[in-house]
Chains A and B, each alone.
Chain A
């Protein structure tokens, strides 16, 4: 693969990666947010694949395939299942009050920071990531390290989603965005971590999502909602 084509494809993948994170802030439907997360997983796999092809490293290509399988299909599938469980539970008895909470449950209706302000904050966070990453980029300006701010920006946006969303599943997506950002930063800065570490991290994330999925189901059973803000008081 020649150099300019590599640069252009890598830039496109990084652009899609950042854009998916930003659009997560824009959308309210949890289903749409999960789709965007899957899309971001694909972009991340594309970044790893491009780096692997460019540096002729088979282990990176394997990692790319693993990331694609895990982050673009398995994790979104698990979150989708948790979401469907919420919906199925709610549609069982469709009297007025229940139907209303159903529509509340699958949408991020009232984030702590409203959508327009979140979008502007995302813009500020991206600028911050660019400013912070500049000295790092200057150490070794290759096409991959130039894109380093993208990884940092996604980390920051993931934090922001984690802090400002109310629904448990939206927060799970925020956590996964954060993790995607960290992985992307590792790829762009150092062409990935050793295979064994990557495997460990992937299993860690998978387990975390499984546990969070269970926890969400339990939270809903106990309190009838997944709005984390309702869980302020302790009960015995």
Chain B
């Protein structure tokens, strides 16, 4: 059991690390094709990263450890998330530690590291980006917690693999009002957390609108490569989490190698589909005004809260 479990983890982390830049490439390519451009190809994020890694590392004068440690910390937390979140198998040697609260705390740690780095540069943009990011994070983290809580009530545990395995056993849990509300709330929260379109535009450096880009404006060379890799990893892990929670079919619930391989194939397919759907939707969306973002996030928080209350009073016979 243990060898299969460790293989599953190794496969999962390998797939996330190798696939995250490809996912970003796929999303950019989908967007480019829909907008009538040729696009740079799936491998462009990897080429960008190679280019950045060859440059000499430069740090701005007067920046301290917060600035220097943020990129490795971001990548490290994202990789730990990639180990913990049940994407391929629910029976792994770490499944007892894959708790919802740990996962949300790791996400928040990555966000906080980047925000501190933005403040550390002492520039206007860094501070502005950090303050915006914290405003958004303060609303997003409780939403993620609440929406997964709604799913954890029927499962009776906040352990993610237990929730996913329960959903595989009883698909009716997902089509209950609580499940549907939680899906809507978590989707909005994932968009906001990964800095995608209605909340933050990842492909712009316009000073009035940027959030994530404003914080990382001072990074160059290998550090920038790490920051971008971290952001891509987070997007891949969050989309994977969404896929596992709400379309868990095919995930390996037993310790057999074929099931693990099949699950890996399926999860790659699901995340690629989700990414393409998101990119296609982004073509039609406009970025929300910054002052409207709290409205959207308060709405998704409300949906999550309704999901939790609904799982009490619309739970049917229990």
Q: Which residues of A contact B (CB under 8 A)?
A: 4, 7-8, 11-12, 14-16, 18-19, 22, 26, 114-117, 119-120, 122-123, 126-127, 130, 133, 137, 143, 146-150
Contacts and interface: CB of A to CB of B under 8 A. Distances in A.
Interface of B: 172, 175-178, 180-181, 294-295, 298-299, 301-303, 305-306, 309-310, 312-317
Contacts of B181: 15, 19
Given A15-B314, A22-B306, 19 more contacts: A8-B172, A15-B178, A15-B310, A18-B306, A19-B306, A26-B295, A119-B299, A123-B306, A127-B305, A127-B309, A130-B309, A130-B312, A146-B313, A146-B314, A146-B316, A147-B313, A147-B314, A150-B313, A150-B314
A54 to B, nearest CB: 14
Contacts of B303: 22
A14 B312 contact: no
Contact of A120 (B175, B180, B302): B302
A123 B302 contact: yes
16 contacts: A4-B316, A8-B172, A12-B175, A15-B314, A19-B181, A26-B295, A116-B294, A119-B298, A119-B299, A123-B305, A123-B306, A126-B309, A127-B305, A147-B314, A149-B309, A150-B314
Given A15-B177, A19-B306, A115 B295 contact: yes
Contacts of A22: 302-303, 306
Interface of A, helix, strand, loop or mixed by DSSP: helix
Interface of B, helix, strand, loop or mixed by DSSP: helix
B294 A126 contact: no
Contacts of B306: 18-19, 22, 123, 126
Nearest to A146: B313
A117 B177 CA distance: 24
A126 B314 CA distance: 13
Contact of B176 (A11, A26, A115): A11
Contact of A12 (B177, B298, B315): B177
A167 B56 CA distance: 61
A123 B310 CA distance: 11
Contacts of B299: 26, 119
Contact of B313 (A8, A26, A114, A130): A130
A26 B298 CA distance: 10
A137 B178 CA distance: 19
A126 B301 CA distance: 13
A14 B298 contact: no
Contact of A119 (B175, B295, B314): B295
Contacts of A4: 172, 316
B302 A14 contact: no
A16 B172 CA distance: 17
B305 A7 contact: no
A107 to B, nearest CB: 14
The 5 tightest CB contacts between A and B, nearest first, are A15-B177, A116-B298, A11-B314, A7-B316, A119-B302
Nearest to B298: A116
A120 B172 CA distance: 29
B177 A146 contact: no
Given A15-B310, A126-B306, A143 B316 contact: yes
Nearest to B178: A15
Tell which of B295, B301, B314 has the most Cβ of chain A within 10 Å: B314
Contacts of A114: 295
B300 to A, nearest CB: 9
Contacts of B302: 22, 119-120, 122-123
A68 B175 CA distance: 24
Contacts of A119: 295, 298-299, 301-302
Contact of B295 (A11, A16, A116): A116
Nearest to A145: B313
